[in-house]
Amino acid sequence: MLGDVSEMKRRMLAGSCYCASDPELAFERERCAVLVEQYNATSATEAGRRAELLGQLLGGIGAGTVIRPPVYFDYGYQTTIGRNTFINMAW
Protein backbone atom coordinates (compact mmCIF):
# COMPACT_ATOMS: atom_id res chain seq x y z
CA MET A 1 0.00 0.00 0.00
CA LEU A 2 2.65 2.54 0.98
CA GLY A 3 4.84 1.68 -1.99
CA ASP A 4 2.87 4.04 -4.25
CA VAL A 5 2.78 7.06 -1.94
CA SER A 6 5.09 10.05 -1.81
CA GLU A 7 7.84 10.30 0.77
CA MET A 8 6.01 13.18 2.47
CA LYS A 9 2.80 11.17 2.78
CA ARG A 10 4.79 8.24 4.15
CA ARG A 11 6.28 10.59 6.76
CA MET A 12 2.88 12.06 7.63
CA LEU A 13 1.37 8.59 8.11
CA ALA A 14 4.33 7.63 10.30
CA GLY A 15 3.82 10.70 12.50
CA SER A 16 7.12 12.26 11.42
CA CYS A 17 7.84 15.76 10.20
CA TYR A 18 6.66 16.28 6.63
CA CYS A 19 6.13 19.03 4.10
CA ALA A 20 2.39 19.67 3.64
CA SER A 21 3.01 21.33 0.26
CA ASP A 22 3.80 17.92 -1.24
CA PRO A 23 1.68 17.59 -4.42
CA GLU A 24 0.06 14.33 -3.33
CA LEU A 25 -0.91 15.75 0.06
CA ALA A 26 -2.12 19.01 -1.49
CA PHE A 27 -4.33 17.02 -3.87
CA GLU A 28 -5.75 14.97 -0.98
CA ARG A 29 -6.50 18.12 1.07
CA GLU A 30 -8.30 19.66 -1.90
CA ARG A 31 -10.33 16.48 -2.41
CA CYS A 32 -11.24 16.52 1.27
CA ALA A 33 -12.16 20.23 1.16
CA VAL A 34 -14.59 19.61 -1.71
CA LEU A 35 -16.25 16.73 0.14
CA VAL A 36 -16.46 18.76 3.37
CA GLU A 37 -17.96 21.69 1.47
CA GLN A 38 -20.57 19.40 -0.09
CA TYR A 39 -21.34 17.78 3.27
CA ASN A 40 -21.69 21.09 5.06
CA ALA A 41 -24.12 22.28 2.36
CA THR A 42 -26.55 19.39 2.90
CA SER A 43 -29.89 19.86 4.62
CA ALA A 44 -31.33 17.79 7.45
CA THR A 45 -33.53 15.98 4.91
CA GLU A 46 -30.52 14.58 3.00
CA ALA A 47 -29.49 11.74 5.31
CA GLY A 48 -28.63 9.47 2.37
CA ARG A 49 -26.43 12.08 0.74
CA ARG A 50 -24.71 12.78 4.06
CA ALA A 51 -23.98 9.07 4.54
CA GLU A 52 -22.60 8.84 1.00
CA LEU A 53 -20.30 11.81 1.51
CA LEU A 54 -19.07 10.57 4.88
CA GLY A 55 -18.32 7.20 3.28
CA GLN A 56 -16.11 8.94 0.73
CA LEU A 57 -14.56 11.26 3.30
CA LEU A 58 -13.77 9.15 6.35
CA GLY A 59 -11.66 6.07 6.97
CA GLY A 60 -14.62 4.42 8.68
CA ILE A 61 -17.93 5.24 10.31
CA GLY A 62 -19.99 3.04 12.61
CA ALA A 63 -23.68 2.25 12.35
CA GLY A 64 -26.04 4.62 14.10
CA THR A 65 -23.63 7.54 13.94
CA VAL A 66 -25.02 11.04 13.43
CA ILE A 67 -22.75 13.90 12.39
CA ARG A 68 -24.43 17.25 11.95
CA PRO A 69 -22.71 19.88 9.84
CA PRO A 70 -20.52 21.80 9.92
CA VAL A 71 -17.51 19.50 10.11
CA TYR A 72 -13.90 20.11 9.14
CA PHE A 73 -11.07 17.73 8.26
CA ASP A 74 -7.67 18.11 6.60
CA TYR A 75 -7.59 14.69 4.94
CA GLY A 76 -10.56 12.76 6.34
CA TYR A 77 -9.37 9.25 5.50
CA GLN A 78 -7.36 9.00 8.70
CA THR A 79 -10.48 9.60 10.81
CA THR A 80 -12.64 6.72 11.96
CA ILE A 81 -15.75 7.12 14.09
CA GLY A 82 -17.32 4.33 16.12
CA ARG A 83 -20.94 3.26 16.17
CA ASN A 84 -23.71 5.24 17.84
CA THR A 85 -21.66 8.45 17.97
CA PHE A 86 -23.29 11.87 17.91
CA ILE A 87 -21.23 14.86 16.76
CA ASN A 88 -22.32 18.51 16.84
CA MET A 89 -25.17 19.75 18.95
CA ALA A 90 -28.37 21.20 17.59
CA TRP A 91 -29.15 24.83 18.31
44 in any annotated domain: yes
**Is 32:57 a contact under the CB 8 Å cutoff?**
yes
The tens place of each residue's pLDDT in the chain, 91 residues long, gives 456 889 999 999 999 999 999 999 999 999 999 999 999 999 999 999 999 999 999 999 999 999 999 999 999 999 999 999 999 876 6
Is residue 75 within 8 A of residue 32, CB to CB? The reply is yes
Query: What pLDDT digit, counting tens, does each position of 10-32 carry?
Result: 999 999 999 999 999 999 999 99
- Residue 90 in any domain: the answer is no
Q: Is residue 23 part of a domain?
A: yes
Number of structural domains in the chain: 1
CATH of the domain at 26: 2.160.10.10
- Identify whether 89 is part of a domain: no
Q: Where are the beta strands (DSSP E) in the chain?
A: 60-61, 66-67, 80-81, 86-87
Alpha-carbon span 28 to 6, nearest angstrom: 12
Q: Is residue 32 a part of any domain in this protein?
A: yes
Query: Within a domain: residue 49?
Result: yes
Nearest to 13 by CA among 75, 66, 82: 75
My answer on whether omega of the bond before 70 falls inside 30° of 0, hence cis, is yes
Half-sphere exposure (CA, 13 Å, Cβ side) for 21? 0
Q: Which residues constitute the domain of residue 29?
A: 2-11+19-84
Predicted TM-score (pTM) of the model is 0.86
Q: Is residue 53 part of a domain?
A: yes
Give domain status of residue 91, yes or no: no
